[in-house]
A and B are shown apart, each in its own frame.
Chain A
Amino acid sequence: MKKVYICNDTITGIFSAIYDAWKESRDKEAGIELRGKLDTQLFCEYTEVVEEERKAAAVEKLIQKHLGYNTYWDIYHALLSEHPKKAEAVFHVMQTARTVGNSKKVMDHLSNPDVALVFELSRKAANEAHQFMEFIRFRELEHGILFSEITPKNRILTCIGDHFTDRFPLEDWMVYDKTHQEFLVHCAKHPWILVSGECLNREEAEKISKAEAEFERLWKGFFQSISIKERENPICQRTHLPIHFRQDMTEFC
């Protein structure tokens, strides 16, 4: 009977499921389903996966060693998406990699539907991460903390952590992902951390510093005055900066 592994929708959870699946049924047909996004089928044996850091680390090493860093990069980004079949697709890609000549080039086999799905998901997540590096807006709170709220479609917080840590090493800053209720937290001179399972204190988040309102006004004014009236082109603007992003951007609020 086909074995289906059920896991949490986190990188550790999915990697643990892949660990179990790889151990027991790498030569057989097997599926991985995400808790909460499960659609049960007939003639399947369902197993709950025990989530462990050790398993996740082993799978990460396995992929990096045998499929190469670039494939790992694609797999990691694909797993940040919200697609219900992402974990299964990744597992199938790993299975496919065993059958192709050069495992490190498995992502070139775009005619394989699983590879194509992973490729597409990875590209979407990576593109969104890049866009948020550009479109995130911080506001300064009372204690000098820079705070930002975003509404991304994929869990991109971990992809932007390094960029902003390098950019603002001496600042305390925090990014809140409203879609997935996760926080990216950075204390000055420390590496960033990802916090989930906490709630945002709305009241604290609204207390902006004295200077903040004035700089927001200056920025909005600049945003208006920099545009050339004779060249106005809202369609062009919308292509580059989709409406979806504007809800969290200072100049459009």
Chain B
Amino acid sequence: MAEKIQVQMSMYDKLQILSDAAKYDVACTSSGVDRKGDGTGMGNCRASGLCHSFSADGRCICLLKILFTNECIYDCKYCINRSSNDVVRTSFTPEEVCTLTMEFYRRNYIEGLFLSSGILKSPNYTMELIYATLYRLRKVCNFQGYIHVKAIPGTDAELLGRVGFLADRMSVNLELPTAEGLRLLAPHKNRKNILAPMRLIQNRMVENKQEIVLYKNAPRFVPAGQSTQMIVGATPETDYQILNVAESLYQKFGLKRVFYSAFVAVNEDTALPARTGEGPPLLREHRLYQADWLLRYYRFEARELLDEEHPNFNIFLDPKCNWALKHLEQFPVEVNRADYNMLLRVPGIGVKSAQRIVKARKMGNLKFDDLKKMGVVLKRALYFLTCGGRMMYHTRLDEDYITRNLLNTKEKLPDSVSGMTYRQLSLFDDMNYTDSQTAQIL
């Protein structure tokens, strides 16, 4: 490395640079661990998590999200801190990170620390610095709040093990959904290297569960589990591929969360998609999160939502509505008899309302009025439900008809109620576009 000119930088400038560089990391959650303070230091954790503020982009700020350093030996094409970029480089010291965390936490600005880092010299060297920071924070400052730390691929297992006992959550970034994309955009990283620490953390967590059964006071290893994130829209993967990757991560690696990050163009590079002026693919990201919820809480499988022929989500309808419209033979569902799993699959019924329905129907027959009180979104659900054998209104179980009504969800009532059973003739057939067609038009 060429000789560097070291300038003493103020804390303010460092924080600006290193938080600005960390903002593309998606995960800012403080949930998953319930811990009371022990009365000798500062901090506690709540399982539900707390959000302390919301930035101008509407994302929650609950952790002090910073990089330890933005110096990096790698040259990933999508990253603002890649080694070939000419940006101001700086690093915190462990002491500085501790001071910032403790003072921000005292003022109730934050719920804890989110520490990520560029790679300084080598993965092990950087991880050792992060360990030193966490050690100081936990043992010297006696901090009992939330800590989320990034595990750097290529670090020794022993070191990762030590860090895991100090952190609440660890995450390894998958970066891109497929090994192919990774080879293209992150030449210094490979899929195997990324999955290795993930597996390691998973195994260590399983062992730790057994230790805790034996010894109640055994130290907890990553009690809030691990998560990962991948960039959407930088490489040509389809939603189907991405969702399959997420599903296998949940099943095979026991992850708590997979985060999706709409690709924000910060670098000019031939390997990256050209800047279009449309901004990041936020709708696509939103649809992926919706589908992610369906996988985790609604007992769906990736191959039910998408397949080879329809590899991308409908931009007009959410994944659950889309699924229901393609499987009309399973509807309408009788509220008073259908099993829990089937209720979950009805558009407009969420986990909470499905649980309430199952509980409440033991006391008596449910009517549409009761469903409304329970929080069922009837404007979507009414096409798919019967109560005591009757639909709410005189609606048809017809894909085209329901699609048309669902797209006008601003109107609460279906057309047939207000008297309009015909459809406005239009020059453009705007209902039956496939994704690729709309993509062409847009």
Contacts and interface: CB of A to CB of B under 8 A. Distances in A.
A171 B109 contact: no
A250 B348 CA distance: 39
B52 A134 contact: yes
B55 A237 contact: yes
Contact of B100 (A134, A218, A231): A218
Contacts of A231: 57-59, 262, 264, 279-280, 282
A95 B435 CA distance: 59
A218 B57 contact: no
A137 B107 CA distance: 6
A170 interface: yes
Given A135-B52, A137-B107, A138-B107, A233 B57 contact: yes
B373 interface: yes
B272 interface: no
Given A166-B37, A171-B42, A226-B23, A140 B107 contact: yes
B48 to A, nearest CB: 9
* Residue from B40, B52, B282 having most chain A Cβ neighbours under 10 A: B52
B39 interface: yes
B12 interface: yes
Contacts, number: 125
Contacts of A251: 53
Contact of B41 (A170, A225, A232, A241): A170
A113 interface: no
Residues of B contacting A: mostly: loop
A230 B264 contact: yes
A241 B54 contact: yes
Nearest to B282: A231
Contacts of A232: 56-57
B23 A228 contact: yes
Contact of A168 (B19, B22, B106): B106
B24 A228 contact: yes
B57 A227 contact: yes
A73 interface: no
Which of A133, A167, A227 has the largest number of chain B CB atoms within 10 A?
A167
Contacts of B37: 166-167, 169
Given A166-B37, A169-B37, A215 B104 contact: yes
Interface string B106-131: 11110000000000000000000000
B341 interface: no
A223 B61 contact: yes
B421 interface: no
Contact of A146 (B20, B23, B106, B280): B106
A138 to B, nearest CB: 5
Interface residues of B, number: 44
A54 interface: no
B177 interface: no
B82 interface: no
A167 B40 CA distance: 10
Contact of A171 (B23, B104, B106): B106
A108 B370 CA distance: 13
A219 B12 CA distance: 9
Given A233-B57, A236-B58, A110 B42 contact: no
A249 interface: yes
A235 B117 CA distance: 32
A143 interface: no
A244 interface: no
B64 interface: yes
Contacts of A42: none
Contacts of A135: 52-53
Contact of A230 (B44, B65, B100, B279): B279
B195 interface: no
B42 A168 contact: yes
A168 B19 CA distance: 26
A202 interface: no
Contact of B36 (A110, A166, A225, A234): A166
A211 B103 contact: yes
Interface string A118-138: 000000000000000111111
A110 B373 contact: yes
B19 A139 contact: no
B153 interface: no
Those 7 A-B pairs whose CB atoms lie nearest each other, nearest first: A236-B58, A227-B55, A231-B57, A233-B58, A241-B54, A227-B56, A225-B20
10 contacts: A135-B52, A136-B108, A137-B108, A166-B37, A166-B44, A226-B20, A227-B56, A231-B58, A233-B57, A235-B58
Interface of A: 110, 133-140, 146, 148, 164, 166-171, 189, 211, 214-215, 217-219, 221-223, 225-237, 239-241, 249-251
